[in-house]
Amino acid sequence: MPFIPHTEDDVKAMLNTIGVNRIDDLFDEIPGHLRIRDLNALDSGLNEMTMSRDMKERAERDGGLACFLGAGAYEHHIPAAVWQIASRGEFLTAYTPYQAEASQGTLQLLYEYQTMMAHLMGLEVSNASLYDGASALAEAVLMAVRANTAAKEPRILIAGNLHPHYRQTIEALVRPQGIHLETLPYNDKTGCLEPQLPKIENGDMVAVVIAQPNFFGGIEEVDNITDWAHQHQALVIAVVNPIAMALLKEPGAWGQRGADIVCGEGQPLGVPLASGGPYFGFLCTKMDYVRQMPGRLIGRTIDQDGKTGFSLTLQAREQHIRRAKATSNICTNQGLAVTAATIYMSLLGASGLADVAKASHANSKVLCTALTALPGIRLRFNSPYFHEFVIECPCPADSLIQALLKKNILAGLDLSVLSPELNHCLLICVTETKTSDDIHTYANAVQHALQHILTAVED
């Protein structure tokens, strides 16, 4: 029996000890009218060989594309050691470190993760992870509502150039608590937030949510926006790409006082694309707000002999103690993905991470230059960007995407699906994983496709 070690003799002896005749007798407290006899609508089990062939065939159907699509999930090189170590059974098959003495491996690793993440963001403290970037932002919004006692009403101002899926996720997760979400508009030419910030009264807003880079890859003037928000007693929630933070100014250094809560998608740090998860959300803040944080926190302490050790701390914020008054309902988080990220950051170091950011960015410049040299293609927004940019095509972006798919290239994201004013727009990402050959192949494919599509239109 797959995964069940019992012999017939075992079963007999065990039933005898219990004092029943059959295993089925153990279900005698389930009322008869609720009992079902089988699951026969399902198929019979497969063995490992058959399953391997089946899954390999499925994986092959999904793989093999050269990925130029980003939009919140980024392909980076993952060093071999990352998942070899993260997949060790002692990390893979442990659970939440409730028994600290038997979980020092996970606990110390999480403390090291918290440290690296806090330093990367320029803030004082990081939690041990949330589910993903979008849900981490929703948690950051709820946290800001708890933390900003100066605000009169729970209103949040959200950058209009935030990833639309993030916006949808916040709406789903915070709407039931009566929080109002309003939009900070972006400029149609730059793709960045309007430099002229709206007039608001002190205490009108709980927080302002800024994405750096924004959904279009554009780099925001974060200092001005941060200071403006703070002048109006609003907290600043930064949503950032962690790889970009090796290159761009860290949120803790934005403006006079720095961002208050920083969150985002941790996937670029050593976690594969994998159809969208498991990834992990990160969340960092200032010490002043630590008790309002959602999720687990690891603290360093000593044992009864004075030896250094690590344990879950400030647990009284959490649902298993605080129940209805917890800071969040989160219990299971994304520990394994964090294990991978910690190993990834250790292997690369600060300069390696900065090189990944720079190389990705340089590659994106090369492709952008090549594409905008083609007739009919222009760069949609004129702001500085980080490793991701938007082009406007002379045809629907989807026709380009379809044409490149035939050459096994995943060209990018068709933005017309998200907003009608971005008709014909394609969001393209290039990371350090692409060679100049890859980039030229892409540009040539676009050139050919355009010739084809435009000729077809003229015909």
Task: Give, as ranges, the residues between 307 and 346 that touch another protein (CB under 8 A).
Answer: 307-311, 313-326, 328-337, 339, 342-343, 345-346
Binder among 146, 257, 365, 407 for another protein (CB under 8 A): 365
Of the candidate residues 125, 145, 397, 439, the single one contacting another protein (CB under 8 A): 125
Name the CA dihedral angle for 361, 366, 369, 372, rounded to a multiple of 10 degrees.
-90
Cα angle 387, 392, 398 (rounded to 5 degrees) comes to 95
Cα–Cα distance for residue pair 377/365, rounded to 1 Å:
15
Helix (H) or strand (E) segment spanning residue 131: none
> Taking CB under 8 A as the criterion, which residues in 420-459 touch another protein?
432
Between residues 170 and 200, which has the closer beta carbon with respect to another protein?
170
Among 8, 90, 437, 458, binds another protein (CB under 8 A): 90
Amino acid at 329: N
Nearer to another protein, 160 or 200 (CB): 160
For residues 313 and 291, what is the distance between their CA atoms, to the nearest angstrom? 11
What residues between 213 and 252 interact with another protein by CB under 8 A?
219, 221-223, 245-250
Alpha helices, H only, 406-435: none
Q: Which is nearer to another protein, 130 or 205 (CB)?
A: 130
| 442 Cβ contact partners less than 8 Å away, ≥ 6 residues apart | 66, 68, 367, 404, 409, 411
Q: Which of 152, 153, 172, 183 binds another protein (CB under 8 A)?
A: 172
- The residue (of 161 and 169) whose beta carbon lies closer to another protein is 169
- Range 382-386 contact pairs with CB under 8 angstroms and sequence separation of 24 or more: 382/189, 382/190, 383/190, 383/191, 383/192, 383/218, 383/219, 384/218, 384/219, 385/213, 385/216, 385/217, 385/218, 385/219, 386/213, 386/217, 386/219, 386/241, 386/244, 386/247, 386/248, 386/357, 386/361
Enter the tokens of residue 272: 């594969």
Out of 153, 202, 362, 373, point to the residue binding another protein (CB under 8 A).
362
Stretch that binds another protein, among 196-204, 267-275, 371-379, 448-456 (CB under 8 A): 267-275
Q: Which residues of 97-127 are buried (b: 16+ CB within 10 A; e: fewer)?
A: beebeebeebbbbbbbbbbbbbbbbbbbbbb
Tell which positions 175-204 bind another protein, by CB under 8 A.
176-178
CA-based nearest residue to 292, from 133, 145, 120 = 145
First to last CA, the chain: 65
Q: Which is nearer to another protein, 169 or 200 (CB)?
A: 169
Residues 299, 234, 237, 134, Cα dihedral to 10°:
110
Q: How far is the CB of 291 from another protein (least distance, A)?
A: 7
| Shortest distance in whole angstroms from residue 412 CB to another protein | 9
Strands 261-265 and 235-240: parallel
Identify the burial level of 208 via C-beta atoms within 10 angstroms of its C-beta, where 0-12 means exposed, 13-18 middle and 19 or more buried.
buried
For residues 33-52, which are near another protein according to CB under 8 A?
33-36, 38-48, 51-52
Smallest gap from Cβ 441 to another protein, in A, equals 17
Q: Are 368 and 379 in contact (CB under 8 A)?
A: yes
Q: Least distance to another protein from the beta carbon of 192, Å?
A: 11
Measure the CA–CA gap between 83 and 344, rounded to whole angstroms.
Answer: 9
Which CB sits closer to another protein, 305 or 421? 305
Q: Which CB atom, from 172 or from 457, has the smaller least distance to another protein?
A: 172
Candidates 185-193, 195-203, 298-306, 389-397; binding stretch for another protein (CB under 8 A):
298-306
CB of 185 to another protein, least distance (A): 21
Q: Does residue 381 contact residue 390 with C-beta atoms inside 8 Å?
A: yes
**Residue 447 Cβ vs another protein, minimum distance, rounded to whole Å:** 22
Does 27 engage in binding with another protein (CB under 8 A)? Answer: yes
The yes or no reply on residue 129 touching another protein (CB under 8 A) is yes
Q: Which is nearer to another protein, 200 or 248 (CB)?
A: 248
Residue closer to another protein by CB (options 148, 342) is: 342
6 Cβ contact partners less than 8 Å away, ≥ 6 residues apart: 14
Q: What is the dihedral of CA 96, 97, 99, 102, to 10 degrees?
A: 120
Closer Cβ to another protein, 287 or 459, answer by number: 287
Q: Is 150 in the site for another protein (CB under 8 A)?
A: no
**Interface residues for another protein in 379-398 (CB under 8 A)?**
384, 386
Cβ at position 458, least distance to another protein in Å: 27
Judged by CB, which is closer to another protein: 23, or 373?
Answer: 23
- What is the nearest approach in angstroms of another protein to the Cβ of residue 205? 20
